[in-house]
Amino acid sequence: MADDLNTQTEKALAPIQLYDASGPQPLADERNYRFLQELFDKKAIDPVANYAYNVRDVVQRKNNDLDTYGAFIDIGTIDPNEASVAYKSIYDDAIKNSKKLSDTDKIIYMSEPWNSPHGILTLLHEFRHKAFEENPKLKNFVDKNAKEFANKYKIDAYEEILTRFMDVKYHDDEVSKDWLRNKFNANLYDENKKFQDKIYKDIEKVENILKEKTDENNR
């Protein structure tokens, strides 16, 4: 990780909006630059997250007081008059802190500070969800496989499982390994090699879809 300081004794960095991360910062917060470099390095080996990466899509909450570390959210689907207290808070916070003018944007909403070791992995995870939504070919691929997956395994979580395996493939993420081991009363990570082979082949197909798009742009 970029932050090799003793995290048990070092004061945590204050939350900062990602689009402000390259600007002037106090000397004491030099680590923001180091986390930014780590983010650049990790997204370079994470083709799906890199495809959807846009600093202006990220809204950082000041307080880590939500049950979720991060989420890909379509702000336009939230009715602030009918939303739950949590989503009303997210809506107000996103509109306040986003540099976009529209209230119908799709955003990455971070409760955990992105400028932390786990925060970077969470951010990249959510950018992949954004890529699956924004790229029509990826969306068709994921939607088709999700239906087949649900019919076969009776689990309606294909996209999340796929994204968790990407956490492991690209970043050897221990949090996602534990999630895959303990979710659904089944060890999806250590057992059922046939299932794992299928997921990793799906990841290769996703990567190939993105490569096709890149090749088209380079013609």
Mind listing the pLDDT tens digit for each residue in 86-113?
888 888 888 888 876 565 588 999 999 9
Q: Is residue 121 part of a domain?
A: no
Same-domain check for residues 27 and 107: yes
pLDDT value, residue 159: 97
Domain holding 86, by residue range, is 18-116
CA–CA distance, 129 with 118 (Å, rounded to integer): 17
Q: Does 150 lie in the same domain as 79?
A: no
Number of structural domains in the chain: 2
Chain segment 64-87, per-residue pLDDT in tens: 888 889 999 988 888 888 888 888
Within a domain: 52: yes
130 located within any domain: no
Answer whether residue 7 is part of any domain: no
Q: Residue 162 has which token pair?
A: 């796929």
In a domain, 58, yes or no: yes
81 and 141 together in one domain: no
The answer on 76 and 163 residing in a single domain is: no
**What pLDDT, on the 0 to 100 scale, is given for residue 10?**
59
Q: Are residues 34 and 90 in the same domain?
A: yes
Q: Is residue 107 domain-resident?
A: yes
Closest CA to 124 of 214, 64, 35: 35
Whole-number pLDDT of residue 177:
96
The two tokens of residue 86 are 């949590």
pTM (predicted TM-score): 0.88
Q: How many Å apart are CA 141 and CA 178, to the nearest integer?
A: 26
The pLDDT value recorded for residue 101 is 55
Same structural domain, 95 and 145: no
Query: Would you state the pLDDT for residue 75?
Result: 86
Same domain, 108 and 142: no
- Is 191 domain-assigned? yes
* pLDDT value for 9: 39
Which residues 6+ apart lie within 8 Å of 106 measured at CB? 57, 72, 73, 74, 75, 76, 130, 133, 134
Taking every pair of C-alpha atoms in the chain, what is the biggest distance, in angstroms? 55
If phi > 0 it is left, if psi is from -120 to 50 it is alpha, else beta; for residue 112 that is beta
Q: Do 143 and 97 share a domain, yes or no?
A: no
Distance CA(107)–CA(91), nearest Å, equals: 11
Is residue 208 packed enough to be buried (19+ CB in 10 Å), middle (13-18) or exposed (0-12)? exposed
Give domain status of residue 159, yes or no.
yes
Q: Which residues of the chain have pLDDT under 50?
A: 1-9, 219
Q: Residue 48 has which token pair? A: 């799906």
CA distances from 83 to 9, 37, 192 (A): 39, 37, 40
Are residues 110 and 164 located together in one domain of the fold?
no
Helix (H) or strand (E) run with residue 107 in it: strand 106-110
